[in-house]
Amino acid sequence: MNTKKSKNKDAFGSERRKAKMLNFSIAYGKTAVGLARDWKVSVREARETVERWYKERKEVLAWQEKRKKEATTLKYVCTLLGRARSFPSVHYATASQRGHIERAAINTPVQGSAADVAMCAMLEISRNARLKELGWKLLLQVWIIGPGTPPPNPHPLDWFPVPRAGLLQVHDEVILEGPTESAEVAKAIVVECMEKPFDGKNILSVDLAVDAKCAQNWYSAK
């Protein structure tokens, strides 16, 4: 089973790729020069595109400026669940280093919070008794080890004593393996776990849209 938080990816493939590139570029603080190189367009066209994007989303620019200020005043920024990324050298950083810090301050809450949501969803799935009864398995980390043996230097969020409990997690996708006869039932359970990843609830102000497929292999599910 392959579950992803994305829709319409096949119908608008080219547009989706360019939009995704633009959104990630803005999240990473990429310049118009870098975006022009990625899109193979002029710097002027890339700059105009970014300016139009911000014009329609002024709240994003305000949010980014707030994160930069936090990085400078507090020397850290946090993800949704409070995981912090520190910037101890911000006050004596060079211009180049400060640019890197500012980009990290913008990107960390975005990518880090997405990771928080994915991790909580995996926890919901791994704890679901019904999925276990149906014989469906999810891997939290790939460790080829004996039962109950933690990996070297484990992070608390990375290790649970369920070795070989499943297969794979890729970004915001989770891949499970189980009996064909219970696939549709398991899919519905997994979708609910991912839509409500915080102890069976969604604490966010937006819905978490989930796209799920059942297939014999990952390629077919894509």
What tens digit of pLDDT does each residue of 95-112 get? 999 999 999 999 999 999
Type of residue at 175:
I
Task: Please check whether residue 152 lies inside any domain of the structure.
Answer: no
Q: Is the pLDDT of residue 150 over 80?
A: no
Tokens at 66, concatenated: 């707030």
Task: Please check whether residue 133 lies inside any domain of the structure.
Answer: no
What is the model's pLDDT at position 163? 40
What is the model's pLDDT at position 72? 96
Task: Please check whether residue 159 lies inside any domain of the structure.
Answer: no
Task: Please check whether residue 97 lies inside any domain of the structure.
Answer: no
Give the residue ranges of DSSP H helices in 74-94.
none
Q: Which of helix, strand or coil describes residue 208? A: coil
* Distance (Å, whole) CA 84 – CA 64: 16
* Distance (Å, whole) CA 101 – CA 75: 10
In this predicted model, what pLDDT tens digit does every residue of 201-211 receive, in sequence order? 999 999 999 99
Task: Please check whether residue 91 lies inside any domain of the structure.
Answer: no
Question: What's the sign of the alpha-carbon dihedral 206, 198, 8, 18?
Answer: positive
Task: Please check whether residue 31 lies inside any domain of the structure.
Answer: yes
Residue closest to 113 by CA, chosen among 162, 57, 165, 67: 67
State the CB neighbour count (10 A cutoff) for residue 95: 6
Task: Please check whether residue 36 lies inside any domain of the structure.
Answer: yes
Q: Give the number of domains in the chain.
A: 1
- Whole-prediction pTM: 0.74
Task: Please check whether residue 208 lies inside any domain of the structure.
Answer: no
Domain that holds residue 34: 9-56
- β-pairing, 137-138 with 168-170? unpaired
Chain-centroid distance of CA 34 in Å reads 23
Higher pLDDT: 47 or 30? It is 47
Q: Is the pLDDT of residue 161 over 60?
A: no
